[in-house]
Amino acid sequence: MNEPWGEDGPAVAARQVTKTYANGVRAVRAVDLEVPPGEIRAVVGENGAGKSTLMKMFYGLEQPSTGEILVGGRPRVLRGPASAIALGVGMVHQNLMLVPSFTIAQNVVLGVEPGRRGLVDPKAAVETTARLAEESGLTVDPKARVDEVSVGMRQRTEILKALHRQARVLILDEPTAVLTPQESEDLFAAVRRLRDGGMTVLFISHKLREVREISDQVSVMRAGALVGTIATADATERSLASMMVGRDMSLDVDRTPARPTDTTLRVRGLRYEAPTGQSLHGLDFDVAAGEIVGVAGIEGNGQSELAEILAGLRRPTTGTVHIDGTDTAGLDVAGHRRAGIGYVPEDRLHNGAALDASIADNLVVDRHERPPLARHGVLHPGAVRAHAEQLIDQYAIRTPDPSVPVRALSGGNMQKVIVARELSAQPSLLIASQVTRGVDIGAMRFMYERLVDARDTGAAVLLISADLTELLALSDRLLVLKDGRLVARFDDTTGLTEKRVGLYMLGVEEHDRGRLTTGLENVGEEAP
């Protein structure tokens, strides 16, 4: 089914490729990239560096403004994914492109279904999928519905999709963002096997440790241009990071040992019956002022529900939550904020900011009714503006003006607006959920420093994250959630490895209840 490839030359290549969008943004500038067959090539860069745009051009989702794309050694015009697929290019997108109500087998064959005269042969689909899974070592259950299987299996389904289309080039866009360390290792093993079978793999990532582990060569992009390509063996995380940002930059956080004082957050016997999503089954934990407590877990194991309960957006079924001794039962969201809770939601686009409102307005939404911003219920525009200018300066939000709508900002700057609002309210408890998701290294580092600052000025911080590296770098203590239960508690995070935490996230190991509740007062009195 594939169009012929040239005898030799690179599997995919870009020659002087530039992409300028209709609105004038130049996402990719004069990139020359060659990837020989049978190589795992990592492409790294900050958000907005142009790596996704470049990959979309290889997959036909975008067309270069100037320059040419080569597949199989010949220049090609890719009008859409269909022509890229016909040339043997497959792509696994960051947000997986699967139909939830279809089975895995149906998703694998979608678009190139087996069967005759316009009909689909469901049995052949299952057989094909099972055979491909067997051959590639990517274990899936062909008859399971996609919305009922784990993220890891969904991702394997995506790769099988590409294999079913006889892909010779596989583009993986940040494939490990949603995986546990163990799942990532399985993925790497499968990718290496594919490479050994002759597959060319383009691996997009910003996790430098993984890049070093999986790739043969690394290409670094910055601001739309290709900075350079080096053999992975010669690269260090530090050298890659400085290539990415153009200056020496490290993500190591200088962090003095925590000096926790009194208990700020006290959660006892917290149960929550979720109509949809994950229920919580009896959580007991404390967070003291002056410490960062991390919450690890595979996404969807109750982290979002816990964060929303603590922020007052959902009501627990039973159990109590105290903030500085105040029982939050019966308080509305504003009441929770008054009790001293700050909340950075995981989905900043939907819950964090009003995207079409200005930066200034977004910065005052929790305090607009109070002096000095308003008197007798009337806003003072001057005060609102001055307030915004001060925070923009303090939090290094890159914008020409406070009246710019939040939608126009980059992910990192958008997040800074939200963090600025939440931290400037001086909460006694900050719930930070996926605070660095999708932000670049510069902004990430900035967030880390702010969280540690908040801790050192006496705030209790509950840090919920899918990024274990981040959790281990920042947390003074670490909790692990699995299936809505606390399964582990580490009171000292020094020397703790991602792999070890991963075992608890997967449920292979578990701490006993004694260890989970050591030193907590009044445990069990509210439990049913």
Partner 1 sequence: MSSVLDVVLSSAFLAAALRIATPYLLAALGGLVAERAGISNIALEGQMLSAACTGALVAGYSGSVTVGALCGVAVATLLGVLLAALRLELGADAIIAGIGLNLLASGGTAYAVYSLLDDKGGTSGLKSGSLPTVTLPGVENVPVLGDVVSGQNMVTWLAFLAAPFVAWLFYRTRFGFHLRAVGEMPDAAASVGIAVRRVQYTGLALSGALAGLAGVFLSMGYVSFFVRDMTAGRGFIALAAVFLGGMRPWGVFLAALGFGAAEALAVQLGSLDVPPQLVSTIPYAMTLVALALYAWRRKRRGRVVPTAASL
Contact residues for partner 1 (CB under 8 A)? 61, 80-82, 85, 91, 93, 97-102, 106-107, 110-113, 115, 118-120, 148-150, 152-153, 161, 165, 183, 273, 275-279, 298, 300-301, 483, 506
- Please give the radius of gyration of the chain, using alpha carbons only, rounded to the nearest integer: 25
| 363 or 488: CB nearest partner 1 | 488
| 276 or 494: CB nearest partner 1 | 276
Distance CA 185, CA 208 (A): 15
The nearest distance, CB 525 to partner 1, in angstroms, is 28
The nearest distance, CB 114 to partner 1, in angstroms, is 10
Taking a C-beta distance cutoff of 8 angstroms, is the pair 9, 181 a contact? no
The nearest distance, CB 119 to partner 1, in angstroms, is 6
C-alpha closest to that of 40 among 237, 212, 228, 240? 212
| 89 or 353: CB nearest partner 1 | 89
| 132 or 417: CB nearest partner 1 | 132
Q: Which residue has the tokens 């200018």?
A: 389
HEC assignment per residue over 206-256: CCHHHHHHHCCEEEEEECCEEEEEEEHHHCCHHHHHHHHHCCCCCCCCCCC
The nearest distance, CB 482 to partner 1, in angstroms, is 10
Taking a C-beta distance cutoff of 8 angstroms, is the pair 339, 331 a contact? yes
| 110 or 355: CB nearest partner 1 | 110
Distance CA 435, CA 446 (A): 11
The nearest distance, CB 23 to partner 1, in angstroms, is 17
Distance CA 294, CA 306 (A): 13
The nearest distance, CB 273 to partner 1, in angstroms, is 8
Distance CA 510, CA 482 (A): 10
The nearest distance, CB 179 to partner 1, in angstroms, is 11
Q: Which residue has the tokens 């962090």?
A: 255
| 298 or 501: CB nearest partner 1 | 298
| 278 or 493: CB nearest partner 1 | 278
| CA dihedral sign, ordered 359, 361, 367, 370 | positive
Taking a C-beta distance cutoff of 8 angstroms, is the pair 344, 419 a contact? yes
